[in-house]
Structure 1
Amino acid sequence: MHTDAQKNVCFKKHEGVSLIELVVFIVIVSLAGAALFKVYSYSQAQSADPLVQVRALELAQSRLDEILALKYDANTPTGGIPACGSTAVGAVACNNTPDLDMNDVDDFNNITDEPYSFNVTKKTSSGGQTTIMVKYTRQVTVVTTGNVKLVSVIVTAPTGLVVPLAAQKANF
């Protein structure tokens, strides 16, 4: 038979946690914390991307709007009628030649500029400073096919993001 002393030894009440349980708990919490930190740091690194994308799109759109507001050709009369190169009375031939006047669509062919460029100075972890050049590059090409000119504007952001926009300008 079992005595009361033997029962207490066999069925002793557990209090606290064992060392193994504590180590397992610490490992699980550490892994979860590391995963959350990685997600947080990734989201922080990508938080400026929408701003960069919008700025690149605005730069492309502004140049495209500027070009499309101009005449089809240097020989196109104000109002566009009669269209250059047409058989209408008083129409003159289109020259489709870029010049430095920037008064028609052709003048922007193969124009590259950096409309939004600046230097950013950041402090390094060692106490020094580093300067980073932030620049957006904008390139325009104009391809004439018949009575239509395809205007392409490509903006390259500092992150390497490329935003292309294109529109057609017709000779009417």
Structure 2
Amino acid sequence: MPTPTKSIPRGVSLIELIVFMVVVSIALIALVGVYRQATINNADPVIRLRALESAQSLLDEIIALKYDEATPVGGIPACRNTCTNAPDDNMDDVDDYHNFSDEPYPNYERSVSVTTANNIKLVTVSVTTPTGETFLLSAERANF
């Protein structure tokens, strides 16, 4: 006489199926959140690079100019008591860029500040991006 065999259930119960769907849903939500954040911040490096290049190009342009209106071409001899430290409309020396501002690209704002202390001019270029970030680059220009 054959012995009865137990039947092994095959398949998935409803509870197991629901638990599986909940676990997969939670994992999918986390992955979609990471993907969404990466997509939103994808353009940030391009925006930052454009802002830094814009600030650097203007700073290089300003630092290459004469120290002062009274400074001779080549910078020698350095202006002593004749230094004016006052901006004019010629844009041919460092002081002329004080309070200068422009928009190098749409929605980018660039401004310049020039301060003088101990015969050294501190030139600061500020660029504000469309995302609201502000980048500052500074350099000193000596009287020589």
Q: TM-score scaled to structure 1, two decimals?
A: 0.80
TM-aligned CA deviation for residue 115 of structure 1: 1.2
- Partner of 2:141 in structure 1? 169
The alignment partner of 2:130 has SS state of: coil
How much does 1:101 deviate?
0.3
Partner of residue 106, structure 1: 95
Matches within 5 A, 1:71-110: 71-85=66-80, 93-110=82-99
Query: Could you tell me which residue of structure 2 aligns to residue 29 of structure 1?
Result: 24
Question: Which deviations, in whole Å up to 9, do the C-alpha atoms of 1:128-159 show, x marking residues without a partner?
Answer: xxxxxxx1000100001121000000000000
- CA deviation after TM superposition for structure 1 residue 14, in Å: 1.3
Choose from 102, 108, 113 the match for 1:136: 108
Q: What are the Cα deviations for residues 53-112 of structure 1, in whole angstroms up to 9, with x where unaligned?
A: 000000100110010010000100011111001xxxxxx610111011000000000111
SS in 1 for 2:42: coil
**In the alignment, which residue of structure 2 is the partner of 1:149?**
121
Following superposition of structure 1 onto structure 2, how do residues 3-22 of structure 1 map, counting pairs within 5 Å? Answer: 4=3, 8=5, 11-22=6-17
Q: For 2:75 and 2:101, how far apart are their aligned partners in 1?
A: 28
Pairing 1:40–2:29 present:
no
Q: Give how far 1:4 is off.
A: 4.6
**Alignment match, 2:50:** 55
* Whole-angstrom CA distance in 2 between matches of 1:12 and 1:38: 45
Tell me the alpha carbon deviations over residues 32-52 of structure 1, each in whole angstroms, 9 at most, x when there is no partner: 111111100100000000000
Return the TM-score normalized by structure 2.
Answer: 0.95
Which one has a bigger Cα radius of gyration?
Answer: 1
Other structure's SS at 2:124 match:
strand
Report runs of 4+ in structure 1 exceeding 4 Å deviation: none
Instruction: State the one-letter code of the partner of 2:73.
Output: T
What's the offset of the Cα at 1:12? 2.9
Instruction: Name the SS of the counterpart of 2:112 in structure 1.
Output: strand
Question: Alpha carbon RMSD of aligned pairs, Å?
Answer: 1.3
| Counterparts of 2:24 and 2:86, CA distance in 1 | 69
Distance 2:119 2:87 in 1: 16
Number of equivalent positions? 143
Unaligned stretches of 5+ residues in structure 1:
86-91, 118-134
- 2: CA distance between counterparts of 1:83 and 1:68? 16
